């Protein structure tokens, strides 16, 4: 005889019909933050790389989200851009927060979860 396969439970009206977009990777957001800061300062890739003690090619790969740098490299690059690791991580966290999470008065809510993709 055939096996009986139950139908899945009906979806709650609160559940989205379509799967959520995948969250961005941490390395992409970190790279974007570093590149934005470098551009804001008017520094070249070569200048920042020399200050951080990395090659321009490696810094370019970090900025494009192709490399997952160690904490030491991140600290060196952030330091070359006059950023603390806290400021860098906060900028990335801000980029992860959806725009819809702003309060009616325009301020961002405090607290909340931070999701990271590996």
pLDDT classification of 90: cutoffs 50, 70, 90: very high
Q: Check which CATH number belongs to the domain holding 75 and give it.
A: 1.10.260.40
3-17, 35-49, 68-82: least confident range:
3-17
User: Residue 81 domain-assigned?
Assistant: yes
User: Residue 20 domain-assigned?
Assistant: no
Q: Which residue, among 92, 98, 87, has the nearest Cα to 26 in the 3D structure?
A: 92
Taking residues 77-89, report their average pLDDT.
96
pTM for the model stands at: 0.67
User: Residue 34 domain-assigned?
Assistant: yes
User: Residue 18 domain-assigned?
Assistant: no
For residues 81 and 54, the answer to whether their CB atoms sit within 8 Å is no
Q: How many domains does the chain have?
A: 1
User: Residue 59 domain-assigned?
Assistant: yes
Evaluate if residue 118 carries a pLDDT over 60. Answer: no
pLDDT per position as a tens digit, 40-75: 999 999 999 999 999 999 999 999 999 999 999 999
How confident is the prediction for the chain on average, in pLDDT?
82
For residues 101 and 86, the answer to whether their CB atoms sit within 8 Å is no
User: Residue 17 domain-assigned?
Assistant: no
CA distances from 89 to 21, 30, 31, 107 (A): 22, 8, 11, 19
The answer to whether the Cα torsion of 93, 99, 103, 107 is positive or negative is: positive
User: Residue 4 domain-assigned?
Assistant: no
Q: Which residue, among 27, 25, 26, 63, has the nearest Cα to 44 in the 3D structure?
A: 63
Q: What is the pLDDT of residue 97?
A: 82
User: Domain of 60?
Assistant: 26-95
For residues 46 and 56, the answer to whether their CB atoms sit within 8 Å is yes
Q: What is the pLDDT of residue 24?
A: 86
How many Å apart are CA 71 and CA 22, to the nearest integer? Answer: 25
């Amino acid at each position: 005889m055939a096996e009986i396969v139950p139908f899945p439970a009906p979806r709650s009206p609160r559940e989205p019909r379509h799967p959520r977009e995948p969250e961005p990777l941490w390395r992409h957001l970190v790279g974007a933050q570093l590149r934005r800061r470098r551009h804001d300062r008017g520094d070249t890739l070569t200048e920042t790389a020399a200050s951080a003690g990395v090659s321009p090619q490696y810094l370019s790969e970090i900025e494009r989200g192709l490399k997952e740098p160690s904490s030491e490299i991140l600290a060196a690059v952030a330091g070359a851009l006059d950023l603390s690791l806290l400021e860098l991580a906060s900028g990335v966290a801000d980029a992860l927060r959806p725009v819809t999470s702003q309060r009616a008065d325009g301020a961002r809510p405090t607290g909340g979860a931070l999701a990271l993709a590996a």
